[in-house]
Amino acid sequence: MARYTGPSCKLCRREGKKLFLKGDRCLTDKCAVDRRSTVPGQHGAGRKVTKEYGMQLREKQTARRYYGVQEKQFANYYVMADKKEGVAGENLLTILECRLDNIVYRMGLASSRKEARQLVRHAHFTLNGKKVDIPSIICKPGDVIAVKDKSKASEKFKALAEQMETAVIPKWIEADVQNLSAKVAVLPKREDVDFPFEEQLIIELYSK
């Protein structure tokens, strides 16, 4: 399945909630969910999710779109989460939070996960001192993510450095604003995920 390249706001409208796919725009009065909360399409106003399967599917799609993950990749994450000790739903969210592109976003070096993914793809970052360009890498405690020295001199990252100074960085990430780097201190816990997911619905969907 190819990556979705259409309007990001349609994805938020489809799920009926803000997925913050366009960064700060989602916090303004230009947000499509606030301006037009109906589901996209000719019959969108009449669509309602009432069945159990529909609720489970919508929650899975919400999580997948929130983190910008492809369908097959998301299913693989579920398999990984189910094999780990602990609660499968919480394990799944931990895996998603530990993606490299998500950590770059959490560091405050991108206004959205889409932008963070693009920055990683363009090889602006290093992971433990080595160049990296794969957004889906799952980071572990002790891993250090940093902007490449060559990239720090660009106007883009000079602006992002100012953005990082005011960003609300989660406690499981130790940020070094001066060096535009961060260390994964510990694995994120359920309470560190600031989006109101009902992850049990996702587990129920895949458990069938």
DSSP result, 62-108:
HHHHHHT--HHHHHHHHHHHHHSSS-HHHHHHHHHHTBHHHHHHHTT
Query: How many whole angstroms separate alpha carbon 4 and alpha carbon 64?
Result: 12
Q: State the angle between helix axes of 71-83 and 52-67 in degrees (0 to 180), rounded to the nearest 10.
A: 100
pLDDT of residue 51: 86
Q: Other CB atoms closer than 10 Å to residue 17's CB: what's the count?
A: 15
pLDDT < 50 positions in the chain: 1, 43
Residue 159, token pair as written in the block: 């602006």
pLDDT of residue 41: 58
At 159 the pLDDT is 87
pLDDT of residue 208: 78
pTM: 0.83
DSSP H or E stretch at residue 183: strand 181-184
Residue 158: per-residue pLDDT: 87
